[in-house]
Structure 1
Amino acid sequence: MTIGSPLQQLSGLPVFDFPEPGSTVPLPEADAVAWRISGPTYRDGDDEDWDQIFDRFLAQVDTKRVRALVVGGWEDAYDTSSAEIVTRLIAANSRLTGIEGLFLGDMTYEDCEISWIQQSDVTPLLNAYPGLKGFGVRGGSGLGFEAIRHTALETLIVESGGLGAEVVRGIAGSDLPSLVNLELWLGTDEYGADSVPGDLAPLLAGTNFPSLRHLGLRNSVIQDEIAEAMAGAPVVARLEHLDLSMGTLGDLGAVALLGGQPLTHLSSLDLSHHYLSEEMTERVVDALAPHGVRVVVDDPQQAEDWGDGEGHRYVAVGE
């Protein structure tokens, strides 16, 4: 699986690509769309860079009415971090006063593979926009996220092929009283993932995120261990949706889930892209579906046999 298409909406608004110079495409009302500012990752000499496109955007759009912003590609994103873009966005916070949604790094595999995207510390960006309700970032390489307090943030999404333990601890240790939806793509050690369930302890304890209702710990090479941790995690009792999809979940993880605290209060449990046996798949569905839980077990996988006696499993999104 790869990221094959850019975001279609953000903060409930359709994404609109800010047009090239000289375009006859009419600009929509400033508050009617999520504006996507994207430059070429492989730039020819005559192409505008991200800074130039952003300058035109600031000059042509009523920025105080802008509600959502998507940062797409930037030049040499596989080699150059997002730090300068973060700096530009911070400097523009007095103009973008109505921003509620922000996504950083909306690139497809043709622009830059997810694990090649060079990110930076995004904590100052969140601090610069205290009214932000939704924030997403794609790419774990170079990503920084310190423990912060942000009272408005309702949705936080971090997509990666490998998320470092320090980032996981920073997010889990943050004070986000309004957070309803948290989605972390933890990834694989081949691309920098080195966290363990213990790094999620404040999150699993349910102390920092009192409003959390949708939790996604996805795309993890340690999905069985994550499932075992979830089996006794106090945070589960308040959840409506639990998403453990895209990872390497097998029968051991599913047994732990079913043997732990009740899950019958959930509206949905997403285990898609899994390594469950047919018998275990049926067991999970039979245990929860009669209670009204929507159990998603699509996209079953088969472990690969390399002749070494071990079954090799893969996350859905790595490189």
Structure 2
Amino acid sequence: MSLSEHCAEFAGLRVVDFTDETPGPDLPPAASVAWRIRVGWNESTSRYLEKFERFLERVDVSRVSALIIGYCGGGYELDKPVARLAAAADRFPDLRALFVGEILAEEAEISWIMQTDVTPLLAAFPLLERFEVRGGSELELSPVKSTALRVLRMETGGLPREVVRAVGESDLPNLEHLELWLGVAEYGGDATVADLAPILAGERLPSLRYLGLEDSEIQDEIATAVAGAPVVARLETLSLPMGTLGDEGAEALLSGQPLTHLKKLDLSHHFLSDEMTQRIRAALPGVEIDLRGAQVEDEWRYVAVSE
């Protein structure tokens, strides 16, 4: 997903912005689209909550399967919208996909988005199959159990280690796609390789096919840990893009367990030498490899998304 454009599709459905000015007959059938609720950049959280109440009144939310919480006011704070949605959970028996914080860079930088404890949402909507979050500041998560969840994505410029640990301690037997933007310490991304150990072991993730450990300033260390991680053997896609990956991390990947079973290896936005990119392609001839976005290392390396 892009940080500069609103998503046009979510969970396989066309995204429609709910507007309380649209005549009732012109609203699409509730189950036919993914609904986004957001307000303008100069509007308040109170206006967002007012719009949400109108949404409950005018749309048959019992049939809504996909919902996006977008820009929710000048404070970029999601606690009240999240709490209100959780309180209305019984009105949304068919909700299967939820995106909390689809806020563009022009509305608020990703590190400015003030998230909240999202655990109550996963508890309130136990049938969620797809759960996505943007923004790491104030983000909290406790370990959860879900047999429904298939996709978990967290886009941040800094993902707190407590959240990473909670993901690793969660029981998600049917999770197929896990994507974590780890970010940098300056913006709260303080997770270490040790914090990732339960994820890399994969014991609680028997169905995982896509693993993304992305946008990290310790990407070489992560690549080294991934090279021997048990979870890799069952993956179809290994995604390590947007971070500071250099020849050291790539060497570890090539020297570790075989990766020839992968369908795709994403290493885009990297600091690899031309020689190393050639070695990777030669070693994995049957794998789709994304090596776009080669960066020139000057005095320091940088991730693609931080502030």
Q: TM range, normalised to the smaller chain?
A: over 0.9
1:57 aligns with one of 40, 55, 58: 55
Cα distance, 1:114 vs. partner? 0.4
Cα distance, 1:22 vs. partner? 5.2
2:10 paired with 1:10: yes
Corresponding residue for residue 81 of structure 2: 85
Secondary structure in 1 aligned to 2:284? Answer: helix
Secondary structure in 2 aligned to 1:105? Answer: strand
2:269 paired with 1:281: no
2:66 paired with 1:68: yes
- Within 5 Å, give how 1:287-306 maps onto structure 2: 287-289=283-285, 292-305=286-299
Corresponding residue for residue 33 of structure 2: 33
Q: Structure 1, residues 135-168: CA drift from partner, whole Å, max 9, x if none?
A: 0000000000111111100000000001111111
Q: Distance in 1 between matches of 2:30 and 2:135?
A: 28
TM-score, length basis structure 1: 0.93
Cα distance, 1:95 vs. partner? 0.7
- Within 5 Å, give how 1:99-114 maps onto structure 2: 99-114=95-110
Q: Distance in 2 between matches of 1:294 and 1:157?
A: 22
Corresponding residue for residue 313 of structure 1: 301
Give the aligned residue type for 1:163: L
Q: Structure 1, residues 20-59: CA drift from partner, whole Å, max 9, x if none?
A: 4256892111111100000234327xx9711111111111
- Within 5 Å, give how 1:30-179 maps onto structure 2: 30-43=30-43, 49-78=47-76, 81-179=77-175
Q: Distance in 1 between matches of 2:85 and 2:25?
A: 25
Corresponding residue for residue 309 of structure 1: none
Cα distance, 1:296 vs. partner? 0.6
Task: Note if contact 2:24-2:58 (Cα within 8 Å) is conserved in structure 1.
Answer: no
Task: Note if contact 1:254-1:280 (Cα within 8 Å) is conserved in structure 2.
Answer: yes
Q: Structure 1, residues 182-223: CA drift from partner, whole Å, max 9, x if none?
A: 000000112111111110111100101111000111111110
Corresponding residue for residue 218 of structure 1: 214
Cα distance, 1:76 vs. partner? 2.3
Task: Note if contact 2:268-2:291 (Cα within 8 Å) is conserved in structure 1.
Answer: yes
Q: Distance in 1 between matches of 2:295 and 2:20?
A: 43
Secondary structure in 1 aligned to 2:49? Answer: helix
Corresponding residue for residue 189 of structure 1: 185
TM-score, length basis structure 2: 0.97
Task: Note if contact 2:20-2:55 (Cα within 8 Å) is conserved in structure 1.
Answer: no
Give the aligned residue type for 1:317: V
Q: Structure 1, residues 224-243: CA drift from partner, whole Å, max 9, x if none?
A: 00000000000000000000
2:245 aligns with one of 228, 244, 249: 249
Task: Note if contact 2:20-2:54 (Cα within 8 Å) is conserved in structure 1.
Answer: no
**Structure 2: runs of 5 or more not aligned:** none
Q: Distance in 1 between matches of 2:23 and 2:132?
A: 29
- Within 5 Å, give how 1:224-235 maps onto structure 2: 224-235=220-231
Corresponding residue for residue 258 of structure 2: 262
Task: Note if contact 1:41-1:77 (Cα within 8 Å) is conserved in structure 2.
Answer: no
User: How many aligned positions are there?
Assistant: 307
Structural RMSD (CA) = 1.6
Deviates more, 1:2-11 or 1:50-59: 2-11
Task: Note if contact 1:40-1:49 (Cα within 8 Å) is conserved in structure 2.
Answer: no
Give the aligned residue type for 1:296: D
Deviates more, 1:192-201 or 1:229-238: 192-201
Task: Note if contact 2:141-2:166 (Cα within 8 Å) is conserved in structure 1.
Answer: yes
Task: Note if contact 1:19-1:25 (Cα within 8 Å) is conserved in structure 2.
Answer: no
Q: Percent identity?
A: 52
